[in-house]
Amino acid sequence: MSISAFWLPARMERLGERELSTLTRQVQEAVVRGLPGLDVAERRDLADFQSALERTMRPGRGGKVVLTG
């Protein structure tokens, strides 16, 4: 068994525009399909991004905090 991981922001900095567009589309499609690990715990309005960011950093969340608006 092996486990691999990467830090997404660092990876994204190295992607070209075309690769980034492809990755963005793939992630959007995965979210629509409701893949495991993409559970939504809360939805927050984009105007409330500071509160959403604070909530994201707190432990004990049962899913992602999604910005809407």
Q: Are the beta carbons of 67 and 49 closer than 8 angstroms?
A: yes
Going residue by residue through the chain, which has 69 residues, state the pLDDT in tens, using 9 for 90 and above: 666 665 677 778 888 999 989 988 887 887 777 777 778 888 999 999 899 889 888 888 788 888 888
Strand extents, DSSP E, 1-69: 40-45, 64-68
The whole-model pTM stands at 0.45
